[in-house]
Amino acid sequence: MVTTPVTQFLTFAEYLSYEDGTDNRYELERGVLVAMGQARGLPELNLSVDRIIKAR
């Protein structure tokens, strides 16, 4: 018999407030958190996006 793990889906609001205490970045795909790779290029843009998100 094969068991399937239960997946907890997140809402967009839960995604925006999610914090795991690490510097990992995640994106939300169909309710599931997916770890993103390390940012490359335009680090100043990444900082600007982080500031916008934290200001909400």
Domain ranges of the chain: 12-55
32 closest CA partner among 3, 5, 2: 5
The per-residue pLDDT for 36 is 87
The per-residue pLDDT for 9 is 92
Does residue 13 have a pLDDT over 70? yes
The per-residue pLDDT for 8 is 84
Give the pLDDT confidence of 16-44 residue by residue, as tens digits.
999 999 988 899 999 999 888 776 665 55
Q: How far is CA 41 from CA 21, 37, 56, in A?
A: 24, 12, 25
Q: Is residue 51 classed as helix, strand or coil in its secondary structure?
A: helix
Binned at pLDDT 50, 70 and 90, residue 11 comes out as very high
List the structure tokens of 3: 């068991």
Q: What end-to-end distance do the CA atoms of the chain give, in Å?
A: 46
